[in-house]
Structure 1
């Protein structure tokens, strides 16, 4: 297969090639300068010993000569470094184990005109990728690639869709010009090695120089020169990366074209549009599994549950199905994407899903009778494989004494869990990203009562989604008014602007935002009055009012907890600095005063009945341990690690506790309102 690369691909490839040339020329000059400096230092060391031979000058000469050697080692250490891909969480599979899969892989490799993978790995992810161990020498000698297939992706794909995904991965290596990307990647690796991977190298220098003051001073020479070289390399890194990432986006379009010619436009588009839902469903399974793990329970097969959850999510979203696979449309994705602001992300390695679909549509490649057979038919003994991958997931967890949930009960257990972490679907998503009105006592106007359906209609959701998008655009434009970024231009409402024009748009956008905000405020007041009347009609006013009060109180506690946590974190900033003991004790004295207020807040939270109900025992123990903790953070001249760990454990935990209380109080109120209106009046 020989697919003509686009003109934009060729243009980006040329830019990348020029960036590579610039890198090699600049780096060669740095090496020449570095070697000249090293030679000069070694010559100077020889002359010092030659003219004044004694022990002191020998140490000095040794330090100067070593500085030259260190500089040379620094410049050439990248040659010996190798980027080894991490295969933790992966399981290698072979042709003998899964012959049908490997037959497809071999057929695709032949169609795309590339080599078959060196090894094939299976993992639990919603992903597929080609990877390899790279070094400087891989630019000169070909390196065979490995293929990683995520079984959660297989589980959410038809056979043809999986073929398209694999063909996309092979497509990255189907054209000779694709090698440019590999060159740029390895040039980046060289720079990254020299600029950012120096901790162990510099630690070794520092440890070696501790033997004598002359060594410290002379080794400082090499450090200063290295810093200068790194400054130049950082500039090259930015140039090279921008060109590489622009090329990378074109490579994605090209790989899509390769895959589309094999499986057709519709199959590729269906697969791309389902990826977010597949990812969401599998992440939800993992969250459920983690929740069960906290209760000392486990499941035997992640992927059997994933199938059920994917279908469950499809039904929740009223999607059509292709076999057992939900069909997501671009319109369903676009209904939440109402942003009017477009900022081209020059640091993005992949184009957006919308951009990819647009390109695939233009190819318009039709395939008759697309195969909707499940992709896992390509694997043998799927149940055993799925259970082994599930075991691999649990291997990362510590507790092995877990009760296994009966396979027939797992999905019901999941649905019960899902109800506890989501708001009632009858609200039509209205409260997914906003709260009920927080200050009902300030409402004076009484509105004509609307029906529940009118209050939470699709038209109302359109208003909320527009406001959310507008708020996001406003914040992004505000960011553009700050000078410290590389963005030069942006599009708003289809018109191109320069970054210094962002401020002019903010005033008008803020007025729009205020208008929408006022409309939503009025609507929230109508909702409040609707449920107030329902509570009165159903003789449920005391219970409803109590739940409302708890929700408002938890919101205030959330804000207060955020403020107290910020104060404590600010006071703890002194731990990041190297201070003498007297200064440390002064900071600890100030810390004690702030901690007293912080602990008072924690005690208030502890006394909430909702806290006892909603927070698990392990988290409660951490909070109680910190409240009762009175040990010193420093003993003599050393830190008390146990005391510090107690403090930081609680500090990390409090935002989660407040979020949990806020969510549970909100959910209890919303659930009660739904139950209340279902009671016959």
Structure 2
């Protein structure tokens, strides 16, 4: 690798200089505080000794000890970080060796040699979609070199190519490829020191409590020492903000530098493609975990989660019509931008990493061709792959408490059930996920079904094109942008300026921009409602064309009725949820008593709707014996929930369980009715295609 690749950018050097000045500020402040505290300690001890010398007796001896402890506590507070260390939890990691995994270690060796850094002290694998270099740190890490460890997630290796793994590991080693990167380590450790003095005070507080309990003489001086320490913490808080901001700004530049190193080792493309896929890979693994969390109650698990993660990733990619190359989904920038149409750009000074879009733009600008190409998926580098994956899976499930020894679900069982559940919980593909975000329109004139139909010269695929669906995401992004700018205007987000739609704005411009966005949100809402009407008219035309008008009317009328009921049910549930929200925060007893009157009032309406639901034949198939038992028990009792100064926790559990059951039942029934309507509409489209 060329020296230019390892040379930090001008922006990096600028941020490093700022960080050095921030460290200098801390050192000056800290030495000043140390000198002050030592002087105060000497003065306290001298005063105590003089007091004893003037009048030797028990009280003066105790006062002398108290004065000495006063000074000692302040000095110890300022020096305690020297004795502390930050040890990384390794309980979820499994160490691997070169003898066990020679191909993976060969890859690591080649990267280490090219980057010009040291081989990791130890290499670990974990279950995660992640890779990192880590080490146990302490105050002395700034003066003595510490060998780093490498952690590679099998959930990552399972979802990236070998080229992408090379790029990711080169990025991690790139953080330690230059002496100038040591600045980041110093800033990090200074941050840890201040953080320790500000927040890691459990041991110090225990010492203070023990001293105070020895005698009332000590307690007086402990309180005085606490006042001085509070003043020191206030000053350090201000320094912490300066050092931390410098650290975060430098961290962002360090990420760009590490990306540059990765590009020179593997080329720009592998890191770009892995960055774009990581969210899907992480979501796929979470989906597997969620699936088996629901299986705990029936004592089921798997012996290998990784084939299932891989299956879900590619299954979802096919559903989203993404291309698959080399066994891996290829996600484009345009695909990501499809869901995020925000035009608001905030420079987050508290972010430790640059955004994915900024990193990709940086890598594209480098435009380094693919290097050191190797075929295959990264997980195939592992020897005895199945055994290792099963070992890691075993470690995951060993932390779960099953009632009895769990049965092992085969991959085929998982695949069949996942596909079946996905089909049950999804709307027909013909709608291109439009109705994942919106409901069919229900606001019509009374005679809408009797009006003459208008012919359409398009099909559903054209109607539900990505171009037409873009309005949904534009509308959602505009609402989010409006909310953010509203918070900037109110001072909830502290920022001096921001970019919107390519133009720079200040806080003073917020009100004008808010008015503009409100009009845009209203316009988008009207356009979406007009499009909803167009969709309705399209399927009304289809029904007429296929002589199914009455069937279409029956499905749609049923949905309108259920949607209207659902809206009422949702409001009753939300009103009770809002009424009980104060229970999540510390609230004065008198306020609790007042708010409980509102809770009981809202509960009357909630119980009425819950009773109606339990008696309705429409919900019968959804009401399990457990739900029936819980709901009936709740309805038959009039709980108080609070009296005197205490909440009745068992009663509140029953209330919130009833609310959860109610929300599940109304949501599921609305979903089933909506899907029935959409299924019928989709069948009319299929009928035309098969004709």
The verdict on a shared fold, with TM-score over 0.5 as the criterion, is yes
RMSD: 3.1
Deviates more, 1:510-519 or 1:531-540: 531-540
1:457 alignment partner, one of 438, 454, 465: 465
Q: Cα offset for 1:602?
A: 5.0
- The TM-score with structure 1 as length reference comes to 0.90
Q: Cα offset for 1:276?
A: 1.9
Would you say 1:518 and 2:518 are equivalent positions?
Answer: no
Q: Cα offset for 1:405?
A: 1.9
CA–CA distance in structure 2, aligned partners of residues 369 and 5 of structure 1 = 24
Partner of 2:265: 262
Partner of 1:291: 294
Partner of 1:106: 109
Deviates more, 1:18-27 or 1:200-209: 200-209
Deviations 1:359-381 (A, max 9, x none): 11122221368333121222111
Task: From the superposition, tell whether residues 384 and 619 of structure 1 become closer, same or farther in structure 2 (CA, over 3 Å).
Answer: farther
Count of paired positions:
671
1:70 alignment partner, one of 69, 73, 77: 73
Deviations 1:494-537 (A, max 9, x none): 11122222222111121122111111122223334555674962
Partner of 1:601: 606
2:433 alignment partner, one of 412, 423, 429: 429
Partner of 1:413: 417
Answer yes or no: is the 8 Å Cα contact 2:175–2:257 preserved in 1: yes
Task: From the superposition, tell whether residues 624 and 427 of structure 1 become closer, same or farther in structure 2 (CA, over 3 Å).
Answer: same
CA–CA distance in structure 2, aligned partners of residues 622 and 81 of structure 1 = 50
Deviates more, 1:438-447 or 1:509-518: 438-447
CA–CA distance in structure 1, aligned partners of residues 210 and 562 of structure 2 = 59
Partner of 1:481: 489
Q: Cα offset for 1:28?
A: 1.2
Q: Describe how 1:147-296 pairs up with structure 2 within 5 A.
A: 147-206=150-209, 208-210=211-213, 212-296=215-299
Which runs of 5 or more structure 2 residues have no equivalent in the other structure?
A: none
CA–CA distance in structure 2, aligned partners of residues 47 and 619 of structure 1 = 76
CA–CA distance in structure 1, aligned partners of residues 635 and 77 of structure 2 = 50
Answer yes or no: is the 8 Å Cα contact 1:561–1:655 preserved in 2: no
Q: Describe how 1:631-650 pairs up with structure 2 within 5 A.
A: 643-648=648-653, 650=655
Deviations 1:569-600 (A, max 9, x none): 32675x556x7xxx6xx956973773474376
Task: From the superposition, tell whether residues 444 and 18 of structure 1 become closer, same or farther in structure 2 (CA, over 3 Å).
Answer: farther
Secondary structure of the 1:481 match is helix
1:467 alignment partner, one of 472, 475, 481: 475
Answer yes or no: is the 8 Å Cα contact 1:443–1:525 preserved in 2: no
Task: From the superposition, tell whether residues 320 and 676 of structure 1 become closer, same or farther in structure 2 (CA, over 3 Å).
Answer: closer
2:499 alignment partner, one of 491, 496, 501: 491
Deviations 1:597-632 (A, max 9, x none): 437625633634677655777777766666667788
Would you say 1:564 and 2:589 are equivalent positions?
Answer: no
- The TM-score with structure 2 as length reference comes to 0.89
Q: Cα offset for 1:231?
A: 0.9
Deviations 1:187-224 (A, max 9, x none): 11111111112245325424542455443332111111
Task: From the superposition, tell whether residues 489 and 434 of structure 1 become closer, same or farther in structure 2 (CA, over 3 Å).
Answer: same
Task: From the superposition, tell whether residues 600 and 529 of structure 1 become closer, same or farther in structure 2 (CA, over 3 Å).
Answer: same
1:31 alignment partner, one of 29, 34, 48: 34
2:671 alignment partner, one of 661, 666, 669: 666
Task: From the superposition, tell whether residues 55 and 376 of structure 1 become closer, same or farther in structure 2 (CA, over 3 Å).
Answer: same
1:401 alignment partner, one of 401, 405, 414: 405
Which runs of 5 or more structure 1 residues have no equivalent in the other structure?
A: none
2:387 alignment partner, one of 384, 403, 417: 384
Answer yes or no: is the 8 Å Cα contact 1:548–1:669 preserved in 2: no
Answer yes or no: is the 8 Å Cα contact 2:641–2:651 preserved in 1: no
Task: From the superposition, tell whether residues 221 and 644 of structure 1 become closer, same or farther in structure 2 (CA, over 3 Å).
Answer: same
Secondary structure of the 1:436 match is coil
Q: Cα offset for 1:657?
A: 5.7
Deviations 1:152-202 (A, max 9, x none): 110111111111111111111011111111111111111111111224532
CA–CA distance in structure 1, aligned partners of residues 624 and 42 of structure 2 = 66
Task: From the superposition, tell whether residues 285 and 661 of structure 1 become closer, same or farther in structure 2 (CA, over 3 Å).
Answer: farther
